[in-house]
């Protein structure tokens, strides 16, 4: 028997988990216990503080419903989700355009549209155009790539948050042409507050954070043999572009609309040009594709909304 | 704007939390985010694994009821609760007998008994005696100290787990005499399985752990001016004495029954002699006492059962 103290407890716990047959589970739990214990030691956590933590995590779990995933929101607001995305990018054989958060508003079964069509309904806001190409890392076009888009309206609301959530709005998917070109019309989205009526909202207020996400447009871009890309474009002029509450913004995903852009297919509309670069897929990534069989990431979306 | 990558994300997140007005909350969250991110980086967590973690934590939160605290059980089985206790001991001005887990079965309002009385009812099991002294760190008796005891029966069940949970059994409290002596009769408890029908049970099985706690008897010992002691005595011959699923056992809390002990007040019964040493209380510990106003630790008990 080992005398348990603040140092030995970690090894004693790891020893008890050492017969875990799944080697990856063993590795993850070993790593988790070491870092969890290191956190408690460094913070010199008291029983009262520990109990506050227990109550908070319990409240987060109990705020989850089939339509709300408060633990994903917690992960988002602690920067963990964004970190998981950057690790995912780094593991890939070829990265291309950076990953950004899928967020809780993805839905399967969005309507297919023709290139140049609008995904918006009357009243959604001021029209803009988004166009560009889908290319590989050498800049070579990827013909017939699929590109799916979803976003909030000019008041910061997704269709799922409005009147009749069964009606899809501001979402759709397109096939790029044989030269990898895509173009579509939509409206300028507005940034919005993350849901602040649960325990994560209490945390955000206690930390004096504003709780806003800057205006953005989500994309899911894919083609056979390519790594499926979950990303978002952000609008430069948003007040919260440098302080996204969920850390989704990165430099290379910030765009702006240009008026009178002669290369836009709709030069009269404010236009965003963005070329999506898809890396090659590993075998594992290939099998996890949304188009074929919904990937884990997309399952996240379903869990989280 | 900083380009977010697996290194910069941590500083970006800390920066956003840096306006937290409560300095201790800021310190804890800063420490938490650094260790959480270090865990994700070291484990090189994939989106699929992250999602499994989200689902697990959600299930843990949703398994909590007013009568069950699955997050405390998770903390216990990861060795965190035991670590929090050792940190609590180390912070004290004087430690004395080591702290052990309070566990989920503490109840307020247990009956007061006279020295030498039994806390057991007919059918609870084979009778034993526990006796000794309550002393300070110099070994000087603490007159009239209070000593509360609760335990399982010889089948491993607490009163709360049986027939009519409103009936208290195998619990009670005593006043030591003017020389700090206490003695009582009870039954030999049996070890038991932690609740394995929830997500923590899934984890324990996936780790091929047996899930048992060795036989033990809980104590809450207090006196004015002394640090209140939450501890437990363990029985040496238990099969799981070296592998407690919640890491409560430490060398100095292992005892054994002795037959024909001439100094026992009940020499005909197998007897355990244990002297509880209470350190001096800090002002904060003094005000958090159970006897006066239920301490946070005891609130834990109420949350967890």
pLDDT greater at residue B2 or residue B54: B54
Size of interface A-B (CB pairs under 8 A): 254
Of residues A61 and B164, more confidently modeled: A61
B17 interface with A at CB cutoff 8 Å? yes
pLDDT band of A295, cuts 50, 70, 90:
very low
Q: Does the CB of B209 have a partner CB in chain A at under 8 Å?
A: yes
B132 — phi, psi (to 5°)? Answer: 160, -155
On the question of pLDDT at A301 being above 60, the answer is: no
Whole-number pLDDT of residue B287: 58
Looking at every residue in chain A, the average pLDDT score rounds to 90
Q: B37 pLDDT exceeds 70?
A: yes
Task: Kindly indicate whether the ipTM for this predicted assembly is greater than 0.90, answering yes or no.
Answer: no
For A5, residues 6+ apart whose C-beta sits below 8 A from its C-beta are B86, B250
On whether any CB of chain B is under 8 Å from the CB of A155, the answer is no
B285 pLDDT higher than 70:
no
Q: How much is the pLDDT for A35?
A: 98
Distance CA B256, CA B83 (A): 25
In the structure, what pLDDT confidence band is assigned to residue A288 with cuts at 50, 70 and 90? Answer: low
pLDDT at A266: 97
- Give the separation between CA A220 and CA A200, rounded to whole angstroms: 27
User: Is residue A294 predicted with pLDDT exceeding 70?
Assistant: no
| Helix (H/G/I), strand (E/B), else coil: A112 | strand
Does the CB of A42 have a partner CB in chain B at under 8 Å?
A: yes
> For residues B144 and B141, what is the distance between their CA atoms, to the nearest angstrom?
9
State how far the Cα of B206 lies from the Cα of B142, in Å rounded to an integer: 47
Q: What residues of B are in contact with residue A54 (Cβ under 8 Å)? A: 69, 71-72, 75, 300, 303
CATH code of domain A71-304 = 2.60.130.10
pLDDT band at B303 (very low <50, low <70, confident <90, very high): very low
Percentages helix, strand, coil for chain B, rounded to the nearest 5? 30, 20, 50
Q: Rounded distance, CA B167 to CA B165, Å? A: 5
Residues forming beta bridges with residue B70, ordered by sequence position:
none
Q: Which residue of B has its CA nearest to A230?
A: B47
Confidence of residue A2 (pLDDT cuts 50, 70, 90): low
Per-residue confidence band for A290, with pLDDT thresholds at 50, 70 and 90 = very low
The pLDDT score that the predictor gives to residue B90 is 87
Nearest-CA distance B229 → chain A (Å):
13
Q: Can you say whether the dihedral through the CA atoms of A135, A136, A138, A140 is positive or negative? A: negative
Distance CA B246, CA B241 (A): 11
Q: Is the pLDDT of residue A93 over 70?
A: yes
Higher pLDDT, B304 or B205: B205
Q: What is the mean pLDDT of residues B262-286?
A: 90
Residues of A within 8 A of B92 (CB-CB) are none
* pLDDT at position A285: 65
B107: nearest Cα among B55, B67, B155: B67
Q: What is the pLDDT of residues B15-33, one digit of tens each?
A: 999 999 999 999 999 999 9
What are the sequence ranges of the domains in chain A?
8-67, 71-304
Choosing among B37, B41, B48, which should be mutated to test the A contact, i.e. which has the most A CBs within 10 A?
B48
Instruction: Please report, rounded to a whole number, the percentage of residues in chain A having pLDDT higher than 70.
Output: 91
Mean pLDDT value across chain B: 90
Helix (H) or strand (E) holding A216: strand A216-222
A94 contacts A137 by C-beta, under 8 angstroms: yes
Residue A203 structure tokens: 């945390």
Q: Where are the alpha helices (DSSP H) in chain A?
A: 8-16, 23-43, 47-62, 70-77, 80-91, 199-206, 283-287, 296-304
User: A47-65, pLDDT tens digit by residue?
Assistant: 999 999 999 999 999 999 8
Angle, nearest 10°, between helix axes A23-43 and B23-43?
Answer: 160
- B286-299 pLDDT, tens digit per residue, is 655 443 333 333 33
pLDDT per residue as tens digits for the range A126-159: 999 999 999 999 999 999 999 999 999 999 999 9
Please say whether the dihedral angle defined by the alpha carbons of residues B23, B27, B29 and B30, taken in this order, is positive or negative. positive
Residue B133 to residue B207: CA distance in whole angstroms: 41
- Touching check for A11 and chain B: CB below 8 Å? no
Average pLDDT over residues B254-271: 96
Tokens of B128: 């034993």
Q: How far apart are CA A94 and CA A166, in angstroms?
A: 38
Q: Which residue has the tokens 């380009």?
A: B3
Q: Show residues of chain B in contact with A296, CB under 8 Å.
A: 47-48, 51
Per-residue model confidence (pLDDT) at position A1: 56
Structure tokens that stand for A60 in this block: 């987060």
Across the range A5-31, mean pLDDT stands at 96
| A189-237: pLDDT as tens digits | 999 999 999 999 999 999 999 999 999 999 999 999 998 999 999 999 9
Residue A48 φ/ψ, nearest 5 degrees: -65, -45
Closest CA of chain A from B22, distance in Å:
8
Q: Which of B37, B249, B296 is the closest to A1 by Cβ?
A: B249
* Higher pLDDT pick, A165 / A114: A114
Whether B83 has its CB under 8 Å from any CB of chain A: the answer is yes
Other C-beta atoms within 10 Å of A1: how many?
A: 14
Angle between helix axes A80-91 and B8-16 (nearest 10 degrees) is 170
Residue B150: beta bridge partners? B171, B218
Measuring CA to CA, how many Å separate B260 from each of B216, B244, B270?
22, 30, 7
- Tell me whether residues A86 and B4 touch, CB distance under 8 A: yes
pLDDT of B165 reads: 74
pLDDT at B167: 84
Contact B208 A71 (CB under 8 A): no
**CB–CB contact B3 A58 (8 Å):** no
Burial B173-193 (b: 16+ CB within 10 A, else e): bbbbbeebbbbbbbbbbbbbe
The answer to whether residues B296 and A47 touch, using CB atoms and an 8 Å cutoff, is yes
Contact between B126 and B155 under an 8 Å Cβ cutoff? The reply is no
Q: Is the pLDDT of residue B44 over 90?
A: yes
- When mean pLDDT is compared over A22-31, B87-96, B227-236, the highest value belongs to A22-31
Model confidence at A284, in pLDDT bands (50, 70, 90)?
low
Secondary structure letter of residue B143 according to DSSP: T
C-alpha B302/C-alpha A73 separation (Å) is: 29
Closest approach of chain A CAs to the CA of B74, in angstroms?
10
Give the list of residues 6+ apart from residue B120 with CB closer than 8 angstroms, or none.
B127, B153, B169, B170, B185, B186, B187
Chain A neighbors of B9, CB-CB under 8 A: 79, 82-83, 86, 247
Helix, strand, coil % over all residues of chain A, rounded to 5? 30, 20, 50
* Residues from chain B contacting residue A250 (CB–CB below 8 Å): 1, 3-5
């Amino acid at each position: 028997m080992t005398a348990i103290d603040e140092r030995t407890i970690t090894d004693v716990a790891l020893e008890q988990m050492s017969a875990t047959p799944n080697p990856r589970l063993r590795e993850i739990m070993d790593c988790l216990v070491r870092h969890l214990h290191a956190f408690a030691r460094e913070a010199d956590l008291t029983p009262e503080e520990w109990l506050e933590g227990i109550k908070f995590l319990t409240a987060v779990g109990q705020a989850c419903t089939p339509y709300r995933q408060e633990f994903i929101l917690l992960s988002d607001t602690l920067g963990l989700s964004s970190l998981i995305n950057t690790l995912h990018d780094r593991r890939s054989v070829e990265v291309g355009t950076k990953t950004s958060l899928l967020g809780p508003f993805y839905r399967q079964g969005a309507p297919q549209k023709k290139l140049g069509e609008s995904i918006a309904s009357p009243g959604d806001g001021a029209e803009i155009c988004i166009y560009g190409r889908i290319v590989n890392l050498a800049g070579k076009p990827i013909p017939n790539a699929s590109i799916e888009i979803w976003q909030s309206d000019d008041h910061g609301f997704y269709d799922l948050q409005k009147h009749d959530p069964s009606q899809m709005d501001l979402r759709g998917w397109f096939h790029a042409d044989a030269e990898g070109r895509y173009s579509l019309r939509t409206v300028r989205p507005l940034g919005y507050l993350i849901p602040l009526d649960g325990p994560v909202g209490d945390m955000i207020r206690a930390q004096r954070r504003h709780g806003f996400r800057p205006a953005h447009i989500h994309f899911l871009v894919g083609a056979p043999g390519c790594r499926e890309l979950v990303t978002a474009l952000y609008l430069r002029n948003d007040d919260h572009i440098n302080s996204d509450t969920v850390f989704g913004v990165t430099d290379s995903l910030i765009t702006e609309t240009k008026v009178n852009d002669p290369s836009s297919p709709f030069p009269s509309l404010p236009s965003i040009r963005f070329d999506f670069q898809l890396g090659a897929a590993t075998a594992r990534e290939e099998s996890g594709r949304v188009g074929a069989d919904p990937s884990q990431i997309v399952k996240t979306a379903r869990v989280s909304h």
